[in-house]
């Protein structure tokens, strides 16, 4: 007769902890990163002004990498980077990227709550 070894009971997640990185910072960062890459591709499709999309492409890649590696960052370093990326997302409206402007504003307004959570 073959019996399986007993398994340990699954413990519920500890109370008082929440997911990191905060959703209200991570999701706008993801959306802004995608919009920046799409804006860069749009500018890249014009032969004459292709260089204008390079800052948006760089910002989009950094935002997507930060989103992907958010859980491995130190909390303070993540929030400092989120603040800088939020400011740069607001500045990307100069390249015609309005969704990034909105995402940058959301990121900056949610930072105080995330700092209290960290």
**Which position has the higher pLDDT, 16 or 11?**
11
Q: Is the pLDDT reported for residue 3 higher than 80?
A: no
Whether this prediction's pTM lies above 0.85 is answered by no
pLDDT score at 50:
86
Q: Assess if residue 80 is contained within a domain.
A: yes
Q: Assess if residue 8 is contained within a domain.
A: no
Domain extent, residue 105, equals 23-117
Q: Assess if residue 4 is contained within a domain.
A: no
Would you place residue 18 in the very low, low, confident or very high pLDDT band (cuts 50, 70, 90)? low
**Of the candidates 95, 93, 96, 117, which has an alpha carbon nearest to the alpha carbon of residue 105?**
93
pLDDT in tens, 58-90: 999 999 999 999 989 899 999 999 999 999 999
Q: Assess if residue 18 is contained within a domain.
A: no
Can you tell me whether residue 24 is helix, strand or coil?
helix
Q: What is the mean pLDDT of residues 92-118?
A: 93
pLDDT score at 47:
80
pLDDT score at 112:
94
Between CA 61 and CA 35 the distance in angstroms is 11
Q: Assess if residue 72 is contained within a domain.
A: yes
Between CA 92 and CA 98 the distance in angstroms is 8
Per-residue tokens: 15: 């109370």
pLDDT score at 48:
85
Residue 26 and residue 103 in contact, taking contact as beta carbons nearer than 8 Å = no
pLDDT score at 118:
75
Report how many domains make up the chain.
1
pLDDT score at 99:
95
Averaged confidence pLDDT in the chain:
88
Q: Which long-range contacts (CB under 8 A, 24 or more apart) does 101-108 make?
A: 102/28, 103/28, 103/29, 103/31, 103/32, 103/35, 104/28, 104/32, 106/24, 106/28, 107/25, 107/28, 107/29, 107/32, 107/82, 107/83, 108/83
Q: Assess if residue 41 is contained within a domain.
A: yes
Neighbours of 37 (CB within 10 A): 18
């Amino acid at each position: 007769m073959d019996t399986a070894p007993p398994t340990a009971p699954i413990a519920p997640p500890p109370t008082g902890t929440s997911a990191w990185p905060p959703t209200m910072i991570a999701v706008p960062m993801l959306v802004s990163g995608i919009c920046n890459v799409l804006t860069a591709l749009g500018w890249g499709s014009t032969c004459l002004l292709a260089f204008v999309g390079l800052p948006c492409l760089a910002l989009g890649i950094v935002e997507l990498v930060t989103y992907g590696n958010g859980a491995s960052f130190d909390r303070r370093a993540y929030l400092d980077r989120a603040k800088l990326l939020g400011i740069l997302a607001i500045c990307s409206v100069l390249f015609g990227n309005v969704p990034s402007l909105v995402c940058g504003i959301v990121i900056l307004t949610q930072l105080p709550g995330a700092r209290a959570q960290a």
